[in-house]
Amino acid sequence: MSHSHTLTDAGLSQSQITGGNLAVHSPIDGAEIARVTQSSLGAMPQVFDRAEAAFKAWRQVPAPRRGELVRLLGEELRAGKDALGAVVTLEAGKITSEGLGEVQEMIDICDFAVGLSRQLYGLTIASERPGHRMMETWHPLGPTAVITAFNFPVAVWSWNTALALVCGNPVIWKPSEKSPLTAMASMAALARALDRFGDAPDGLVQLVIGGADIGDALVSSPRVPLVSATGSTRMGRIVAPKVAERFGRSILELGGNNAMIVAPTADLDMAVRAIVFSAVGTAGQRCTSLRRLIVHESLRDGLVEKLKAAYASLPVGDPRKSGTLVGPLIDTAARDRMQAALEQAKSEGGTVHGGAPVAAVEGGAYVSPAVVEMPAQTAIVQAETFAPILYVMSYDTFDEAIALQNGVPQGLSACIFTRDLREAETFLSATGADCGISNVNIGPSGAEIGGAFGGEKETGGGRESGSDAWKGYMRRATNTINYSDELPLAQGVKFDI
């Protein structure tokens, strides 16, 4: 199937993918697959105008009715799953099953948000004053900016947009410059849902394509009360102060440096399967990818041999082909960063197995995943390299393993493989892993939408997707109603006039 055929199957017209000023390349073979029109910085005030007008109308629509739009979006995504998944593969380089899995995440969060639209609950609170009732209510916050990265080009948008819409907020979406086509295809699905919905306000969800200037306009504008941004820690250090300076609210999903502890009682066969998927899935380009393996010293040598054998059998190549498990890195710059990280690991005492460039498809940046035995948690181990590099370290005592797990700046996802109940419970306790996501006998990658997604420390502290993450998209009001004939003051204060 041609690139153009794939894109038109996903609802894009030839006019949308030709003649623009932003060249889009597929990581599969480096070929230019489209030219799309970028948004003008001068047009951003009109974008904000439309979002504010949409907010004034949308916040008055009952939440269950808002949920109906999200339900229709889910239906459109189900109908177009194969086509949109193929565009994810074409533009992000994910193998076919991962491209389809990403669209399934979009469908799942739509289902979740539809139910949520009838469950935006507040509390009733006991008042100390007789004849009074206290309660809290939740209200729409306002226009929400969603800034997404190339590695999950549509799922992260849907996590935010499905929640923002049922909460009563319009959305302004800025995708990565590396993945505008998946964004445009998702907007085509949303347009079909909006047509079926019938009475949504104009400007409810807008797409802006561009670089740092467009992103800065979203981040800096006081007309955007909420910015949800996914990307590197470096990006977060730019975004967070600018949003905070104007007293806006940010949801940050930044870097991860995720670890697995393999304890003496672990099921090693299960652990190996989890390690390989978590470390090499999406060619190591997930924020939840496994990057550090902390294995008990009694198991280290045997486990490394198992991993070397498993890695040697991994098919690397065109992600569209059946049987491929490792697709390309997003571009040659990512490949260069991986090679530089491996050289630094060697200089810090590491022994590298694998990691060489692979001539799989001409023009693509393909590599063999690397297992790197390290003597300690050195500087390169503490840094996140967005590539399939797995650093292996050993431990003696369980306290040492926890210290290694927590001894990095990032705090997204962590896991342990153990059959020891005390180790498992300690790992999940306040004295255990310091991450936003902590798992037992399952890898750190591949979170379900039912739980809140996000991490601590340099991961940014934001939460998206399930649980009560919806509260981040709303403003809370505490209300007190006096239904008595008296006016008592709280805390027993007397102020008679």
Please confirm, yes or no, whether 253 is among the known catalytic residues. yes
Q: Give the torsion sign (CA, 266, 268, 274, 278).
A: positive
Query: Which residue, chain included where needed, has tokens 């490792």?
Result: 326
Structural element, H or E, at residue 32: strand 32-36
Q: Give SS3 for 37.
A: coil
**CA-to-CA separations, 81 to 77, 103, 409, in angstroms, rounded:** 5, 6, 37
Gap between the Cα atoms of 43 and 207, Å rounded: 12
**CA-to-CA separations, 94 to 151, 284, 325, 451, in angstroms, rounded:** 9, 11, 9, 24
The type of residue at 393 is M
Q: Which of 298, 322, 330, 144 is nearest to 228 (CA)?
A: 144
Structural element, H or E, at residue 294: strand 290-296
Q: What is the DSSP letter of 42?
A: G
How many CB atoms within 10 Å of residue 57? 15
Whether 353 and 371 have beta carbons less than 8 Å apart is answered as yes
- The packing angle between helices 155-167 and 63-79, to 10°, is 160
Gap between the Cα atoms of 6 and 3, Å rounded: 5
Strands 226-230 and 249-253: parallel
- Residue 465: CB partners within 8 Å, gap ≥ 6? 109, 112, 159, 163, 447, 449, 450, 451, 452, 453
Structural element, H or E, at residue 24: strand 22-25
Whether 260 and 404 have beta carbons less than 8 Å apart is answered as no
Please confirm, yes or no, whether 435 is among the known catalytic residues. no
Query: Which residue, chain included where needed, has tokens 């729409």?
Result: 140
Q: Which of 430, 432, 436, 428 is nearest to 465 (CA)?
A: 436
Choose, from 110, 167, 287, 415, the residue flagged as catalytic: 287
CA 229 to chain centre: 9
Q: Give SS3 for 350.
A: coil
Choose, from 253, 373, 384, 423, the residue flagged as catalytic: 253
**CA-to-CA separations, 151 to 74, 113, 122, 386, 387, in angstroms, rounded:** 21, 23, 35, 10, 11
Catalytic positions, written as ranges: 253, 287
